[in-house]
Amino acid sequence: METAQLEGRIIEAISTIYDPEIPVNIYELGLIYDLSITADDRVRVEMTLTSPACPVAGSLPGEVEQKVREVDGVQDVALELVWDPPWTPERMTEAARLELGFM
């Protein structure tokens, strides 16, 4: 499978995950900082949360890892939760900002 095609399917899977406090999926919220795929289809996800005190801090990264692992063609997943740079509303897509009234 081509890397671009696999990346699209991974983004689709991640886009089904929502922060329970915000009616926008985590991809459009800008919580995924980096998504890289190696030649042998191993995926590395770098993500953050809206705040270190986020109520889903214990479960959301695991949910992301599970969704990515379930994508056909993914051989392995490594997920890193980072706090630097901190998440800000500017990381949201235009659609997310419109949905939440930031524009």
- The ranges assigned to domains in the chain are 3-88
Q: What is the dihedral of CA 35, 84, 22, 90, to 10 degrees?
A: -90
Is the full-model pTM beyond 0.85? yes
Superfamily for domain range 3-88? Fe-S cluster assembly (FSCA) (3.30.300.130)
Per-residue pLDDT of the chain (103 residues), as tens digits, is: 699 999 999 999 999 999 888 889 999 999 999 999 999 999 999 999 988 888 888 899 999 999 999 999 999 999 999 999 999 999 999 999 998 888 7
- Concatenated DSSP letters of the chain: --HHHHHHHHHHHHTT-B-TTSSSBHHHHT-EEEEEE-TT-EEEEEE--S-TT-TTTTTHHHHHHHHHHTSTT--EEEEEE--SSPP-GGGS-HHHHHHTT--
